[in-house]
A and B are shown apart, each in its own frame.
Chain A
Amino acid sequence: MIQFKKLTYEALEVGEEFVSDEQLVLPEDVETYAFAVDDHHPWFLEDSPFGGPIAHPTLLGNQALRMRHGRYIVHAGLHAKMDFEFLEPIRPGVRTRSRGKVVDKYERRGKPYMVTEFVTEDENGTTLVRGRFTQMLFRD
């Protein structure tokens, strides 16, 4: 059983690793995302040059962001930076998982930040997306 603790700058350790739960990418996930970002490109709903529909390249960003929720109580930080590399298209029907590591933490102008690198793979170990995000953590 997981003992959740609140995500704080002090609790966080550089080198700490995270892994998300597995996510089956559903067609309805893609439709919901299309609504959320108002992008109804036919490749996401009908057919694409990759054979069949694909998902928006940024669809799994939240899976990477929420890796930390498997261990910490995270009341949303303020996203400062985001880097993505899209290596393979994401297709509905694949099972995906993100793994990541805290690579830096620092304070700037009295505010705490954490930097996390991540890789998102499908069930065959193919890397779909990789990247890095920087978040400011809220102090109480």
Chain B
Amino acid sequence: MKDNIIICPKCQNLNLKKTLKNNEVALCSYCGNILYRSIENLDKRLFSYAFSGLIFLIISLFYPIISLEIVGYYGVLNIIDTIIYLFKNGYVFISLFTFFTVVFFPFLILINVLLFSFTLKYKNLAEFFLINITILKDFVYLDIFFIAILVSMIKIFDYGYLSVNVGFFSFIVVFIIFFILFKYYNISMYWDLFENV
């Protein structure tokens, strides 16, 4: 157990872990790469990001994302309806995969972040939620789904009148929130927060 040592992900150099003051950044002693940072009120930030993420996720799931009008036909992209449509038409595996990676896991992970920040004082409970976050974070593919929407929009741009709806803008917010939660704040920060309480 080496809880006072950190390995630089860039140069693999071993560094001693030190307690930082708020908004301070720890750099690798060899290559200067950012190792970890201390963020003021991280638990409250996590709570607010997860809460807003949940609201925007629900909006983006149930409201139309884009709509297409070709002479005589009006089509709307709604994630839940798409999954149900694929499932009913026999594309069970594809629909389940989309359901889990774009709907269920993102929803579950936001709930877990919310509960983790809420139950931080109760070590056992917080650890349970944190382990869930650690497992699930690798199986959320919202970023790829978002790029897929953009690629599809370009593919069908010439065929009819395309418009973006409220779900699309909500999806962008969810995408940004996930970026902040798991790219800007990485999972090590969550574990540090858990261990330092």
A binds B: no
Q: Which residues of A contact B (CB under 8 A)?
A: none
